[in-house]
Structure 1
């Protein structure tokens, strides 16, 4: 018993350690956005399906001893992939299509090792059922997920701070050798089993084939859980940054639900988790609608809702488990569903939606299939749980409104008032919901009594329709004033058209999520005004004003091209932009690039890789000023703020040149990071926080940090007159490198 358990645990640990490790290599190469994580999840889910299919084929077509020989041979072949360190030749160049390149990189780097690791779980469980007839192997599945969860939790908190990427890759490679040894020892135990074909080993007592509805739910339930996992990961990563910790959090919750549900049925209470799921759907509606809710509360809502969704999906999945004889087919179908959910979010959703809507879609579908399960299996508990969760929504949503609008000081009074306002505003919907619940549960209103009534299944089904209507109305509301919208690997963008007042006329705004990346007036007279974070009194405006004569300016991040408004004849403004769609938007919907008298150059690709390539080739002149404007959004590219990145920037500057870093951010305090970089490289630094008048609504409060090796550059009147006090000598600095960068240190 101990050897199979340890083998499965070790394999699962390695299986999920490699995921964030590979992410550490890929993020700096492909822009650092959440699309990298989504593509990685797609690869690992799909290869997991391949591993389960291989295990199912192996256990069905060969006797145990032959299975062991084949699997050990494949495992030995996977050792040829070691060490699992991607070659630098995989770095993208220019307009390379990122999804295909990431998938091919992962396949050639960890493809075979990951395939054999993913097959080990179901295969060893099958061997265990043959070595120990009559003992259920399903708790080993819970142990497998426990190993995966431990791997995910230890990576950001233990391994990542402990050693650089290369050392971790070598340690993982050594772990694979240990795992191969354990598999060899386990395979040796199979030598005593008869050398007959696997189908002949099945128990003599025939087992009934699972019903078609059971098989369908084997696929649908894990597909919905996987869809919600990736969609929640997207949502959380877009609101902060794409780093292993934030990818680990929803995946850890997802695995935790597997562990609980497959460990013992007592952990899954239909009534409890269905109620929490329904209440979570209501809270999600509010969080999607209101961006002012604090970050911890938003993350808590999304993760708790994912927890409830995972428990419902995997709890029902465990209830539908077959006998051990059909174990590999069951796991194969689960893996197929998981891969389908990832494929939908990674490949199909960007084609179907111009914005991120898959989280809402997944919740509606899950609530609907909860109703389907109610009807198919006559579950009164699920219907009651959904009803109780619906009754809690009028109290949960006002709690979020109170937190967002008034804070924690007088929370209870705020909550009570919000409850009153919410009920008054939604009186008709609440009344209709109460009537629906009362009719559906009329014969079983008391929690502890009553039997199944078919009308109970209407409660989750109709609530799913109601939730869908709410999400559609939200989407319609979000679509107001939208002139154009697009979504791709790097995110979702909108061009918004506003008419703020009669004097200035209409204006165009570029928005990515809740972050503005540019604003321009439509009227010819005002179209050249620098707007948003780039006003004349902002840090970047002052830095540009401090440089006399003809200037060569490098700009990381294009947006609407607003900074080109500062261009003068003889200037060269070279923009570095990773997303080709944004280049098209800046040229089509905005006129900053066309109006400027400066020469505008656009280098397409990741800024750091492009700057490195230009330096290596020696075909680009140094800059008077390098502007880093890639951190005002919520998903920041961390690889652009490391020691190594700053060394590259300094190499691209003229002697005594300036670097301007835009650190305005809702959730992250980037000042200690920039101060740490300045300290490490011996640079002088000033911070300029620009507070603008409310009447100038087209200008935003902004924070910029200016760095230079020459103190005289920062002593210019335009800069020194607005500079804040320098940081105290005892101030805490944050030191980011390519091997280690932690968001915990800078969360607001």
Structure 2
């Protein structure tokens, strides 16, 4: 090697390392800023239908995979030429700055599967593609610039940057900046990253004819090794989404909760992609044990301690993700094969996301993807015997070890049968089903923990434990046909002697009484509630031919306020809800009270924009399933849509009951800026007092709330103050809606839930929305 070549190949100083770290961190930060930012831009125009967001997710995955494939392809050319090509790609992509959703007029019947990908690709495709490639590409450049140093540790910087962007958007950027300012901030960040990447390119050697990144010097990975990489990436990616779904469906629907699983998933790379003898000793023992115990207890969906249960599930996700990603790190190739390694990782991540987010809601009626991915993790995570004596127990000659494993699996199967004896009519085996389940689980768990290191027995114990504590109950409900799932969640019907309930995850979605009371409105819609009062007043306000619209169908409870001659329309985003309320026969509010009501399927704001001006007299906005808030239905522009579709003296009812957010300041600002007059009604169920003697003969007075009535907050708005006065005269209790000093209202350009979060959960016993 010549003196110049030796100089060119000399190891990079610390400053070089810092420059590459900054470039990688900055690019990943931008990548996780642009996704929620473009989603906020698209929401008012495209709506929140699942087809829209599924299409968006596929676009992101495809662009990320394309960026990694592009980085892999660039390995065919010398690194200096790679730098020129990539800087050229970055420069061309800069023509799409500043970021904004392209102004394309979508037809009313636009197919999301076609239009959404086209719109997103046209708006951010080149930028997303160029930025997504920089992490693997710069790692390869660093290996060249540093004389062959291991670049994999730099992947930690990439994921720290991603984690920073993930937290920065909802906590800092969105609450403090309008979308226009966010776009210019991202543009400035893109310019900085371009300069950093150019600086990295200048550090590449000018003469390197034998650089191993053009001609591979290491052995190519086998197909089995590549498949192993893909599967190791698939399970944590799918488990991250499955954990999010399970938490928000069966545990607790806290705002911004989705940030935590994704953040832990990203941090797992930073923990895994580095040398750590401590992790190498701890993970093979801790992860299988926690997987067996916590994975089984988590799927029980315990609601008594939801935050504790959520913490268990999140810690389990972190352990599985670190274990799988650490195994990937151990199986990593030499730096000259780096981009192929990351391409396989990207394929696995995409497949995990597609399975958990797209396929699972179509083929399962419950979150079965979660236990399936837990079992897959049991097959993948490294294991090590907890004690030397246990290793001696399971190891030995092949035939002896096989006999031991088969005997243990037989014992596990027997314990599972004891636990679920009700399915086989074996009630005499124990007096309590819970007692049998827990006793059998304890036995299975002990065998499983003792078998850590003997994978066949451990996986059998894991499957048995999952089956005992959650799966067999879930399968029973699925077999009964009382549950349905869509992209919006899991709907479960519960049939009791006097009523039938519909739950959306942990949130009550509607109740219908049976028999003579089947037409009686219940929960948030009883006659004493704000919406109940407005519906009863509608004939007096608008005559016998009142035109009434409802955003959010639920079980169809509000239909039983319909009167002959009135014209009713429901706007519902989820076709599964329409099936439950109208087609299944499980709930009969619609068929009994408003069989001719029109149901419009799709995002309410998009559909209302297609309605004729002044076509409704009364509109009830009740679209908040669980405790989620569709922001685009609460902005100034959305209230302008409602005002346009209402008659000049029309009435808008907004349901704002929510455990975690105080939404009245949002509505108050929209009302003040839109020229509405507004009043609020806080309803508490009436109490029935009963006096009866206790065991000592003393008279005890007990108070019971009104049957199947729920506390609720409703806001009434109208451009005509006389309408609110007549409503208030008919039923006292309406109070003027006051603005909150210093609060900034929501618009399509600016909205944040941070200022409206409650410091603690409020006593909405069942949640918000029908």
TM-score > 0.5 by shorter chain: yes
Q: Does 2:529 correspond to 1:529?
A: no
- Structure 1 unaligned segments of length 5 or more: list them: 386-420, 442-454, 502-506
1:673-722 Cα distance to aligned partner (Å, 9 max, x none): 44454455563312131415668655444333333455554444777645
Range moving further from structure 2, 31-40 or 703-712: 31-40
1:597-655 Cα distance to aligned partner (Å, 9 max, x none): 686233332111222333xxxx2434332201112523331221233323332343334
> Residue 439 of structure 2 aligns with which residue?
427
RMSD (Å), alpha carbons: 3.7
Separation in structure 1 between the aligned mates of residue 289 and residue 477 of structure 2, nearest angstrom: 23
Alpha-carbon contact 1:149-1:255 (below 8 Å) kept:
yes
> Residue 564 of structure 1 aligns with which residue?
559
Q: 1:703 aligns with which of 684, 706, 713?
A: 713
> Residue 134 of structure 1 aligns with which residue?
148
Separation in structure 2 between the aligned mates of residue 304 and residue 250 of structure 1, nearest angstrom: 9
Q: Does 2:276 correspond to 1:265?
A: yes
SS at match of 1:190: coil
> Residue 613 of structure 1 aligns with which residue?
610
Separation in structure 2 between the aligned mates of residue 584 and residue 697 of structure 1, nearest angstrom: 27
> Residue 426 of structure 2 aligns with which residue?
none
Alpha-carbon contact 2:285-2:386 (below 8 Å) kept:
no
Q: 1:601 aligns with which of 595, 598, 602?
A: 598
Alpha-carbon contact 2:254-2:627 (below 8 Å) kept:
no
SS at match of 2:164: helix
SS at match of 1:157: helix
Alpha-carbon contact 1:270-1:312 (below 8 Å) kept:
no
Separation in structure 2 between the aligned mates of residue 746 and residue 567 of structure 1, nearest angstrom: 35
Q: Does 2:681 correspond to 1:683?
A: no
Q: 1:48 aligns with which of 64, 69, 75?
A: 64
TM-score, normalised to structure 2, is 0.78
Write the mapping of 1:446-525 to structure 2, written as runs, cut at 5 A.
456-458=454-456, 460-470=458-468, 471-479=470-478, 481-483=480-482, 485-487=484-486, 489-494=487-492, 496=493, 498-501=495-498, 509-520=501-512
Q: Does 2:75 correspond to 1:68?
A: no
Alpha-carbon contact 2:728-2:734 (below 8 Å) kept:
no
> Residue 17 of structure 1 aligns with which residue?
33
Q: Does 2:673 correspond to 1:660?
A: no
Separation in structure 2 between the aligned mates of residue 277 and residue 735 of structure 1, nearest angstrom: 49
1:58-97 Cα distance to aligned partner (Å, 9 max, x none): 20x2222332233233222222322321124376845x55
Residues 1:688 and 1:132: Cα distance change in structure 2 (over 3 Å): closer
> Residue 184 of structure 2 aligns with which residue?
170
Alpha-carbon contact 1:125-1:137 (below 8 Å) kept:
yes
1:99 CA drift (Å): 5.1
TM-score, normalised to structure 1, is 0.80
Alpha-carbon contact 1:7-1:179 (below 8 Å) kept:
yes
1:343-369 Cα distance to aligned partner (Å, 9 max, x none): 112322122212332223212211232
Alpha-carbon contact 2:99-2:123 (below 8 Å) kept:
yes
> Residue 87 of structure 1 aligns with which residue?
102
1:472 CA drift (Å): 2.0
Residues 1:437 and 1:179: Cα distance change in structure 2 (over 3 Å): closer
Residues 1:30 and 1:479: Cα distance change in structure 2 (over 3 Å): farther
Alpha-carbon contact 1:277-1:305 (below 8 Å) kept:
no
Write the mapping of 1:14-413 to structure 2, written as runs, cut at 5 A.
14-32=30-48, 40-59=56-75, 61-89=76-104, 93-94=108-109, 96-98=110-112, 101-190=115-204, 192-195=206-209, 201-203=215-217, 207-210=218-221, 214-236=225-247, 245-266=256-277, 268-271=279-282, 275=286, 278-279=289-290, 282-283=293-294, 285-286=296-297, 288-290=299-301, 292-293=303-304, 296-370=307-381, 373-374=382-383
SS at match of 1:110: helix
Separation in structure 1 between the aligned mates of residue 601 and residue 480 of structure 2, nearest angstrom: 29
Alpha-carbon contact 2:678-2:737 (below 8 Å) kept:
no
1:219 CA drift (Å): 1.3
Alpha-carbon contact 1:672-1:732 (below 8 Å) kept:
no
1:87-118 Cα distance to aligned partner (Å, 9 max, x none): 24376845x55455433332222222222222
Residues 1:484 and 1:338: Cα distance change in structure 2 (over 3 Å): closer
Separation in structure 2 between the aligned mates of residue 679 and residue 227 of structure 1, nearest angstrom: 45
Alpha-carbon contact 1:277-1:308 (below 8 Å) kept:
no
Alpha-carbon contact 2:521-2:527 (below 8 Å) kept:
yes
SS at match of 1:654: strand
Separation in structure 1 between the aligned mates of residue 331 and residue 174 of structure 2, nearest angstrom: 39
Separation in structure 1 between the aligned mates of residue 609 and residue 21 of structure 2, nearest angstrom: 48
1:324-381 Cα distance to aligned partner (Å, 9 max, x none): 12212211111111111011123221222123322232122112322xx43xxx6769
Alpha-carbon contact 1:556-1:607 (below 8 Å) kept:
yes
- Structure 2 unaligned segments of length 5 or more: list them: 1-15, 392-432, 689-703, 762-770
1:218 CA drift (Å): 1.3
Residues 1:710 and 1:564: Cα distance change in structure 2 (over 3 Å): same
Separation in structure 2 between the aligned mates of residue 151 and residue 671 of structure 1, nearest angstrom: 30
> Residue 398 of structure 1 aligns with which residue?
none
Alpha-carbon contact 2:108-2:610 (below 8 Å) kept:
no
SS at match of 1:349: helix
The number of equivalent residue pairs is 678
Separation in structure 2 between the aligned mates of residue 659 and residue 52 of structure 1, nearest angstrom: 50
> Residue 408 of structure 1 aligns with which residue?
none
Separation in structure 1 between the aligned mates of residue 756 and residue 331 of structure 2, nearest angstrom: 45
Range moving further from structure 2, 223-232 or 342-351: 342-351
